[in-house]
Structure 1
Amino acid sequence: MQSGSTVALDVRSRFPGGRNVGGKYNIADHKVTMYVGEIKKQCLSLFGSLEAFPQILRIVFAHELGHAEDANLQELSDLLDHCDNEQERKRIALRIEENAWDYAKKLIPEEDQSIMQTVIYYSLKSYREAIAGEIA
């Protein structure tokens, strides 16, 4: 399946700052930036080698396209920007990420499911733990 997206693409080696971010979507200029060096680090961390790098790159890119093509992203982003309740902010952030992953799964259903599920699990882990921590 092809996305038909009109999103611009920028490829960089490293994400500025200390976080390990493989890709980022900028809603203001409708552009996805992919950080190849960070994706390689993620690949090594999750799978112990770069063997799965091409798949991880496709998966992360599909996820970022999911943000770009999310019809609800602007509304969810506005809610996030104006929300004073920390618990609700965490829930909105999780919804934004889950929406992008739902899109990615539809865009590349042929991708190795064990790799895909591992990437999704670790991508969403901190969001889910933040919510679970508030509940506990």
Structure 2
Amino acid sequence: MEIDSNLQQITSTLQARAGSSVNVILEKNFPGKRIAGGKYNMGTHTITMYIDEIKRQCKMLFSSLENFYEYFAVVFAHELGHAEDEELEALAERMDTADDYERKKLALQIEENAWCIAKELIPEIDSNFTRQIIQESLLSYRDQVKTETVSVPACIIP
């Protein structure tokens, strides 16, 4: 598959901005059933971005692909947030021994941490656009722990 040079530029720029040594793979489709735009593998320190899934997400949320490159940048910044999160390993280890509710709270914390880091990497992207993506992304995690928006970390609120 030939990769769009704009996507490669976005990943290189954000990776450099983050000072990250993470490996980046751009693929066409996510191999599973859910719509996953990107995935960070802590074991291999690799981010895999699923381009068609990101397009689907963008269309679902914004009804068009007009802002696809910005949407891609936000999703990639989020995955970079996971890769650069200094707390990730400890939080992931705590999940191994946590009960179901605690695991859900830890999963929410992991996602919020990644978004806090991501926001720092994409200051040029409209904060309302980013906020809409973040809110949609965190919705299912918050629903599982019944967390209200008021508990959102300050770094996520523009």
* TM-score, normalization by structure 2: 0.81
Alignment of 1:1-136 (within 5 A): 2-83=17-98, 85-132=99-146
Larger RCO (CA within 8 A; separation ≥ 6): 1
Q: For residues 67 and 82 of structure 1, what CA distance do their matches in structure 2 show?
A: 21
Q: How far did residue 16 of structure 1 move?
A: 1.1
Q: How far did residue 62 of structure 1 move?
A: 0.4
Amino acid aligned to 1:95: Q
* TM-score, normalization by structure 1: 0.94
Q: For residues 109 and 15 of structure 1, what CA distance do their matches in structure 2 show?
A: 28
Q: For residues 96 and 126 of structure 2, what CA distance do their matches in structure 1 show?
A: 36
Where 2:26 maps in the other structure, the secondary structure is strand
Aligned residues: CA RMSD? 1.2
Q: How far did residue 112 of structure 1 move?
A: 1.3
Where 1:15 maps in the other structure, the secondary structure is coil
- Aligned-pair identity in percent equals 49
Q: How far did residue 67 of structure 1 move?
A: 0.3
The one-character-per-residue Cα deviations of 1:107-128 (angstroms, maximum 9, x if unpaired) are 1112111210111001000000
Where 2:91 maps in the other structure, the secondary structure is helix
